[in-house]
């Protein structure tokens, strides 16, 4: 990695003493000479670029074959090297070599006049324009006018337009013709973080390169090398924290490394992982695993204690939940990609404890954790007290951890039919929930629970069978529920194949044959009817309340109406919202557990 000694020239030394003495001037010069790591270690050649192998390989081949496009579009998130790549390309096109006789090359020498001037950002033929602050058509017209003149000293005149998506529609239209057929001595390099906002007519005239986020392990190696060049002692765990927080951006990561160096410069000791975690407001990775253990064990008291400890150390409640969300994603990946267990890209704690948790937890449980944490993060951001909001999410997770989905309940029903009648636990079983085992791990072991017809309806919702779920709620009158036998009276409007679909779903889920019998007996009200009766009773109770009566007397003509509460923001696609089972389903499950 080359140093940018010519990028930011230091001011000349003072010719004499200042009005306030020489020492302050010397200190000011020393402070002004400091450059942040992101500028000091900015790549100067294609070999210095990290994580952009496709871009480098394509451009090298283009130079070798003399097939260099007239316009390039570089896109990617902030800090991955778009502007840096544009400047390297400008030097590569204009390098004349140490002896001044060289031609265009993918490996600019860095010592010729053109290379030095471009490195110092003062070459008259390399024009950089920030489209974020120069968005109008007049700014583009200046560029178009400048393309008519040949370069002053370089071989090729380069126009670098950063954040090009910020240009106005009129500016884009004015640029189209010149961008399509520029003079032979002109090259355009456009850069953007919002490629979707660039008109397709502009994209079709450019050779597009998508710069990738840099992988965590590549960033960690890069930051370790820079820390070594700066003679900064820093722990590998601290580097790992910074690399993950950088989110694929080299510049963001170097800014964080700068901050960590300044934070740890007080005593000159090694910058530890804990110090960086505190700086970033992160929870220690092992601490996050401990919290997840408490949550999946259903130990709400222990989970809240961990949350209190994290809060006292300065961790943000929202970041704590985000860490749990990231861990849930990691565990799901480990279940679907077993090779991650031996991957060198993961830290040791994630490989060891992560594998154990992934083997223990089921995919449906991790899916529920993900949905609840994702919604919980939104709730925490809008809660008056973020700490209280995060604690409520943790408590909910603890109580949901040992609650099996309807499909699992039905499977247990076929293994222990007595559970449907509210029977006790199976022989050798305990009180249910999660149990601690040797070694500190947790094993999920759900006890048999009392089941109901609502569990069957909930299974239809879980399976996303819209029609079956709707007809079971609206048209099915339960006569007898004695699994694996269900006796129903169906409304005449229900499709004839509803019973067959129900039996097929239950057999596919439990592996057992179910009998769905049709009856002429009246049976119980449908689920929708029962909910309507409850609503009507609630309205009658409200009307009978003295306060309501007083209000109606004071305001003649006023009336009480039933109004549905606004729907909460859906965790699933809007067109599936009708599939969400009623809250009474889980309330009954919890009552059965008690």
The CATH number that applies at residue 398 is: 1.20.272.10
Q: Which residues of the chain are modeled with pLDDT < 70? A: 1-33, 265-268, 281-284, 344-349, 401-448, 450, 533-542, 548, 560-594
**Residues 318/390, Cβ–Cβ less than 8 Å:** yes
In a domain, 263, yes or no: yes
pTM: 0.56
Answer with the one of 210, 230, 245 that is the final residue of a domain: 210
Q: Tell whether 74 and 201 lie within a shared domain.
A: yes
Cα 108 from Cα 62, distance rounded (Å): 15
Cα 43 from Cα 23, distance rounded (Å): 35
SS3 of 217, please? helix
Q: Tell whether 257 and 370 lie within a shared domain.
A: no
- Give pLDDT, residue 28: 47
Q: Tell whether 180 and 321 lie within a shared domain.
A: no
State pLDDT tens for residues 404-431: 665 666 666 566 554 444 433 333 333 3
Cα 78 from Cα 191, distance rounded (Å): 10
State pLDDT tens for residues 342-381: 776 666 667 778 888 888 888 888 888 888 898 888 888 8
- Give pLDDT, residue 290: 86
Give how many domains the chain has, as a whole number.
3
**Average pLDDT score, the chain:** 78
Q: Tell whether 159 and 193 lie within a shared domain.
A: yes
Q: Tell whether 206 and 221 lie within a shared domain.
A: no
Residue 304 CB neighbours (<10 A)? 16
Q: Tell whether 174 and 299 lie within a shared domain.
A: no
**DSSP-derived pairing of the beta strands 434-436 and 442-444:** antiparallel
- Give pLDDT, residue 530: 83
Q: Tell whether 294 and 385 lie within a shared domain.
A: yes
Give phi and psi for 166, each to the nearest 5: -80, -10
Strand partners, 192: 75
- Give pLDDT, residue 216: 86
Answer with the one of 402, 433, 465 that is the final residue of a domain: 402
List, in sequence order, every beta strand (DSSP E) within 157-263: 157-162, 186-192, 207-210
State pLDDT tens for residues 45-98: 998 899 899 999 999 999 999 899 999 999 998 899 999 999 999 999 999 988
Q: Tell whether 137 and 51 lie within a shared domain.
A: yes
For residue 271, the domain's CATH number is: 1.10.8.60
Q: Tell whether 86 and 190 lie within a shared domain.
A: yes
**Paired tokens of 341:** 């267990």
**Residues 447/430, Cβ–Cβ less than 8 Å:** yes
**Residues 426/411, Cβ–Cβ less than 8 Å:** no
Cα 459 from Cα 470, distance rounded (Å): 12
**Paired tokens of 331:** 């565990």
In a domain, 455, yes or no: no
- Give pLDDT, residue 56: 92
In a domain, 162, yes or no: yes
In a domain, 594, yes or no: no
Q: Tell whether 362 and 222 lie within a shared domain.
A: no
The one-character DSSP state at 234 is: B
The one-character DSSP state at 517 is: E
**Paired tokens of 4:** 């940018």
Question: In terms of residue numbers, what domain contains 318?
Answer: 285-402
Answer with the one of 387, 402, 417 that is the final residue of a domain: 402
- Give pLDDT, residue 282: 63
- Give pLDDT, residue 439: 32
């Amino acid at each position: 990695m080359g140093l940018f000694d010519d990028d930011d020239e230091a001011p000349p030394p003072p010719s004499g003493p200042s009005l306030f003495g020489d020492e302050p001037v010397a200190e000011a010069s020393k402070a002004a000479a400091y450059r942040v790591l992101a500028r000091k270690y900015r790549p100067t050649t294609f070999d210095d670029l990290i994580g952009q192998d496709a871009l480098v390989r394509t451009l090298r081949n283009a130079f070798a074959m003399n097939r260099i496009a007239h316009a390039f579009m570089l896109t990617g998130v902030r800090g991955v090297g778009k502007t840096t790549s544009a400047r390297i390309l400008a030097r590569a096109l204009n390098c004349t070599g140490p002896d001044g006789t060289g031609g265009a090359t993918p490996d600019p020498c860095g010592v010729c006049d053109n290379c030095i001037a471009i490195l110092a950002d003062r070459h008259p033929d390399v024009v950089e324009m920030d489209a974020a602050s120069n968005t109008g058509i007049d700014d583009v017209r200046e560029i178009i006018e400048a393309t008519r003149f040949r370069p002053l000293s370089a071989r090729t005149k380069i126009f670098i337009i950063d954040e090009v998506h910020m240009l106005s529609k009129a500016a884009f239209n004015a640029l189209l013709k010149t961008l399509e057929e520029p003079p032979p001595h002109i090259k355009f390099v456009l850069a953007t973080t919002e490629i979707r906002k660039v008109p397709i007519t502009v994209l079709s005239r450019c050779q597009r390169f998508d710069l990738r986020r840099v992988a965590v392990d590549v960033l960690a190696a890069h930051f370790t090398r820079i820390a070594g060049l700066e003679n900064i002692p820093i722990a590998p765990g601290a580097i790992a924290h910074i690399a993950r927080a950088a989110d694929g951006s080299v510049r963001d990561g170097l800014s964080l490394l700068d901050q960590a160096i300044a934070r740890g410069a007080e005593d000159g000791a090694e910058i530890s992982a804990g110090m960086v975690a505190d700086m970033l407001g992160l929870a220690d990775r092992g601490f996050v695993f401990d919290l997840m253990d408490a949550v999946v064990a259903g130990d709400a008291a222990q989970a809240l204690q961990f949350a209190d400890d994290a809060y006292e150390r300065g961790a943000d409640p929202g970041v704590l939940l985000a860490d749990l969300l990231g861990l849930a994603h990691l565990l799901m990946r480990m279940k679907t990609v077993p090779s991650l267990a031996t991957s060198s890209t993961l830290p040791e704690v994630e490989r060891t404890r992560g594998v154990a948790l992934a083997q223990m937890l089921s995919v449906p449980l991790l899916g529920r954790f993900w949905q609840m944490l994702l919604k919980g993060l939104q709730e925490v951001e809008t809660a008056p007290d973020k700490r209280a909001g995060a604690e409520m999410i943790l408590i909910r997770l603890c109580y949901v951890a040992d609650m099996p989905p309807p499909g699992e309940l039905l499977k247990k029903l076929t293994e222990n039919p007595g559970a449907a009648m509210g029977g006790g636990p199976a022989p050798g079983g305990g009180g249910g929930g999660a149990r601690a085992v040797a070694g500190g791990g947790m094993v999920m072991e759900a006890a048999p629970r009392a089941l109901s017809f609502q569990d069957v309806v909930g299974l239809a919702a879980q399976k996303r069978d819209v029609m079956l779920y709707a007809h079971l709620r609206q048209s099915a009158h339960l006569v007898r529920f004695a699994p694996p036998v269900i006796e129903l009276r169906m409304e005449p409007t229900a499709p004839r194949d509803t019973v067959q679909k129900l039996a097929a779903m239950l057999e596919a889920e439990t592996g057992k044959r179910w009998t769905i019998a049709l009856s002429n007996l009246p049976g119980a009200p449908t689920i929708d009817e029962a909910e309507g009766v409850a609503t009507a009773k609630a309205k009658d109770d409200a009307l009978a309340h003295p306060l309501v009566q007083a209000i109606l007397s004071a305001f003649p003509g006023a009336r009480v109406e039933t109004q549905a509460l606004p729907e909460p923001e859906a965790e699933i696609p809007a067109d599936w919202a009708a599939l969400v089972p009623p809250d009474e389903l889980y309330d009954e499950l919890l009552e059965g557990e008690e």
